[in-house]
Structure 1
Amino acid sequence: MKILIISTPVQAIGQGEGGGIDITLLNIINALSPLGHQFTVLAPTGSKLSADATLIEISGRLQTSVQTESASTPATMSHDSTIVSMCRYAQTHQDQFDVILNMAYDWLPIWLTTFFTTPIHHLVSMSNENQTVADAIEELNRMMPQRIAFHSHASANTFQLENPVTIIANGFEFTNFPFCKSPKQQLAWVGRISPEKGLENALEVANKVNLPLHIWGKVQSESYQQQLVEKFPEVDIHWRGFVPQQQLLKEMSQSALMLMTPSWIEAFGNNVVEANACGVPVIAYNKGGPTETVISGVTGYLVENNEDMANRVADALKLSRYHCRDSAQQRFSIEQYALKLQSWLSLNID
């Protein structure tokens, strides 16, 4: 198939701002390219893509992330917005493609689904964070349920859906994932330095267990970062910044344990699988995507709050790093992912 991907209209990809979207986009291309599928990716100006695909940079006014707004904020977009330009390009060139894959968590491409002759499929990258987007997803689920897929049942369940949905999860190429059997006595945390990612929770746990916390990720809010530094002066914090993926895996693999502490409901949580694949156990909240990636007592623990998380650190440090790695590779291989994606995207292809 010739596949056109509409990526996020919120920021350029490949710059550390996209988080899970960047990783998922690469995983999709890496999964399906070996099967002969060809990709063209629409992304905001300034994007970078280290994958076997044609990148078309789309200029325009970037959308405001729904993460920074209330759930009741209406959908707004200017005539020169990136998402409008992306959809215009997709509509104009749709005859060149067999299928369009929308990864933008935005009302417009979902609403436009029935107006295209080339099938548009939507991979929903977040849980229910905006009512306008949710309304569009729920309406499309009633009309064309096969066109929507989610990363996890937990994410899908945050919407009011009448018809069964496709769960895609995610898949990874584990060949180059490093494995460290003798880690350093340090905690790891990976994510954008932004309030919804809940870094303060990880710092609270690190303080309780008296272990250093190594933090990888793009600083999206310097004021938030400074507030954390002032609030937790006693924690041994190591700001590692945003680094290339392979470097991140190498450095993170040396940690004894990863903490996952978002304040919102993660749709999947790529970091869980990546950490486990490197042999690193993960302690996460018992909500969202991690409930379907963490096997409590085997690859980490699911907990209800920060106190429980701190109490589980000692137990998690005893878990087999080999079991963590093997579980990730068995459940989230790139080969399994490719079959799921191909089956879903082929549903409406004659």
Structure 2
Amino acid sequence: MLRRSPHRTVCACGKSDIPHKPNNPASGSMRIVFLSTSVGPLGSGIGGGVELTLRTLAHGLSLRGHHVTVVAPRGSVIDRADADGPRLIEVDGEMHVPSQTLARSAELVVPRNSVLVNMWQVVVQLVSSEHHDIVLNFAYDAHPFVHARECTVPTAHLVSMGSLSDEMDRAVLSAVRTSPRSVAMHSKAQANTFGAEIGTATTIVSGGVNLDAYEFVAQPTDDLALVARISREKGIVDGFEVAERSGRRLRVFGVMEDEAVWNEAKALHPRAQVEHVGFLSTNELQSALGRCAALIMVHRWVEAFGNVAVEALACGVPVITYARGGPAEIVRDGVTGFVVPPDRPDEVAAAVAKIGSIDRGRCRAEALERFSAPAFAHRVEDWLRGQLA
């Protein structure tokens, strides 16, 4: 029997403790257990883009007839769906320190009463007691890689960030050598940060969002948008410089992770008009983002994908991005925005001056053609099926 403590079972539709029957994956549907990020509850914004990715796939795969159970930290939320929607199991425990805040050579920190260790124990028990077919890991941590053999079914890993940790690199390398099809990433640029062997063995699934949730806005204000956690790697200082150079207000949407870097940016660029809006729900974000003239992406690290670029395009908002990581694979230079050299906020400001040349209708169409949630779910479905063949 599945223990009810320290976690509880909740369906996204509000129903609890849904019974499951054994399933034959050859019949078409799969029973999939999602292991969530361990840095914060789903819906908090602490996990960044991986939260949107997980929710998109949970609903997308459910709509394709699969049975999805999400194991996530206590306090997590998943958007309501019908009775066949994803089931949520909340687990107690201490959150992990985000890997991007640690030195590359540092060991990944495992706190006492780790929420990740607790979630993994729940996953192993679920697989054994409820006859699931496969585990899909979203946690950027070595633990699910190292302990994958504890599961009686395959564990697939959708890696959410580029190479940041020597320990994580070793875990990913071991996984691709043991189970070559078990690792997927969002972009070629992301995969290449892990080196040639991992990059070659990795499946690229790109990304996608529920485009029905984003409204097209034809006539924007002059405001610029930056959607990111307030942290150094997200390029907040460069964002302030773009605002100062362009003379436009910059609206920043995201969790305040590092107030010191925010204050540093203000001191360096005192004439910049910058407003910190904070973290918003998807509906609130799309409404505010859609009214902006452009989204700027001035990240100092390799973004794995860049969900927010797709969200912006879905609203008709052009994207100006550094030629670094996944966003540069999303934006079509001169068509849906501009791709400029990395670490050149002056080039971003110059691109802002010509943003009126971009057709916002073309931006929306591009999002529909390339980055829909159903297309994303289909790609991930094919990847998961390949591990059950």
Shorter-chain TM-score range: over 0.9
Q: Name 2:188's counterpart in structure 1.
A: 153
* Residue of structure 1 equivalent to 2:94: 61
Asked if structure 2 preserves the Cα contact closer than 8 Å seen for 1:20 and 1:270, the reply is yes
Counterpart residue number, 1:265 = 302
1:306 aligned partner, one-letter code: P
1:333 equivalent in structure 2: 372
1:80 paired to 2:117: no
Pick one of 27, 33, 37 that aligns with 1:4.
33
Offset at 1:222?
2.6
**Cα displacement string for residues 303-344 of structure 1 (whole angstroms, at most 9, x for unaligned residues):** 112122112212223111011111111011122112111111
Aligned pair 1:124/2:159, yes or no?
A: yes
What is the match of residue 249 of structure 2?
A: 212
Deviations 1:33-89 (A, max 9, x none): 111112211111222222532221111222111111111111342452111111111
Q: 1:17 aligned to 2:46?
A: yes
Cα-to-partner distance string for 1:98-137 (whole Å, 9 max, x where unaligned):
1100000000101122342211000000000111001110
Amino acid at match of 1:198: G
1:349 partner letter: L
Distance 2:152 2:281 in 1: 38
Contiguous gaps of at least 5 residues in structure 2: 1-29
The residue number in structure 2 matching 1:244 is 281
The question of whether the paired residues in 1 share the 8 Å contact of 2:303 and 2:325 is answered with yes
Equivalent residue, structure 2, for 1:256: 293
Other-structure match for 1:105: 140
Contact 1:149 1:168 in 2 (8 A): yes
Matches within 5 A, 1:335-350: 335-349=374-388
Runs of 4+ in 1 over 6 A off after TM superposition: none
State how far apart, in whole Å, the 2-side matches of 1:98 and 1:242 are.
35
Range with greater deviation from structure 2 (37-46 or 225-234): 225-234
Partner of 2:124 in structure 1? 91
TM-score (norm 2): 0.87
Name the CA distance, whole Å, in 2 between partners of 1:184 and 1:314: 14
Counterpart residue type for residue 47 of structure 2: G
One-letter amino acid of the structure 2 residue matched with residue 21 of structure 1: V
SS in 1 for 2:362: helix
Residues in 1 aligned to 2:162 and 2:299: alpha-carbon distance in whole angstroms: 13
Q: Which residue of 2 aligns with 1:320?
A: 359
SS at match of 2:89: strand
The answer as to 2:220 corresponding to 1:187 is no
Q: TM-score, normalised by structure 1?
A: 0.96
Structure 1 residue aligned with 2:56: 27
Contact 2:208 2:307 in 1 (8 A): no
Structure 1 unaligned blocks of 5 or more: none
Distance 2:111 2:222 in 1: 50
Provide the C-alpha distance between the structure 1 equivalents of 2:209 and 2:108, rounded to a whole number of angstroms: 33
Contact 1:172 1:332 in 2 (8 A): yes
Aligned amino acid, residue 30 of structure 1: H
Aligned to 2:77: 48
Separation of aligned partners in 2, 1:61 and 1:243: 24
The residue type paired with residue 285 of structure 1 is Y
C-alpha distance in 1 between matches for 2:360 and 2:345: 23
Contact 1:138–1:161, Cα closer than 8 Å, also in 2: no
- Quote the offset at 1:233 in angstroms: 2.4
Separation of aligned partners in 2, 1:50 and 1:175: 14
